[in-house]
Amino acid sequence: MLQTATILLAITALGGLLMAAIRFTTKHNPPAWLAMLHGLLAASGLTLLLYAICTQPVPAMATLALALFLLAAAGGAVMSLAYKWRQRLLPAWLVVAHAIAAVTAFVLLLMAAFGQA
C-alpha cells in the first residue's frame, strides 16, 4: 500500500511541478482543471497512506510523511480557496512552502515504502 501511495503521490508531484512552472514563468495561476486534478490525486494518495498507517505496521517515517503531507494539503487548500478562487495571483512564498513540505514528505515516504527506514 505504501508503494502504491508513493506512486500516486509521484504523479501528483509531476502536476505540482507543472503548476509551479506555470506560476513562476507566466506570472499567472495554473488552470483550475490542473489544480483540481492535482488535489484529487493528492487526496487519493493521502487516503491510501492513512489507510495503510491505520491497518498495518508501517515505519514511523510513513506517519511523519503523512503529517507533512497534511500540512502541504492545508497550504494547497489556502492557495485554492483564498487566492485562486478569488482570482488572485498565488503568492510565491506559499507555493514554495507548499512544495518544500510536500517534497520532504515524499522523500520520507519513499524511504518508508522502499525499505530505507
pLDDT at 115: 84
Please give the Cα distance from 15 to 114 (Å, whole number).
Answer: 23
Length of the chain: 117
- Please write the tens of the pLDDT for every residue from 26-42: 999 999 999 999 999 99
CB neighbour burial string for 97-109, b if at least 16 within 10 angstroms, e if fewer:
ebbebbebbbebb
How many domains are contained in the chain?
1
Q: Which domain holds residue 93?
A: 2-113
The three grid cell numbers given for residue 25, joined into one nine-digit string: 514563468
- Please write the tens of the pLDDT for every residue from 40-52: 999 999 999 999 9
**Segment 73-97 mean pLDDT:** 94
- Residue 5's nearest CA partner among 65, 72, 74 is 65
Amino acid identity at 2: L
pLDDT band at 117 (very low <50, low <70, confident <90, very high): very low
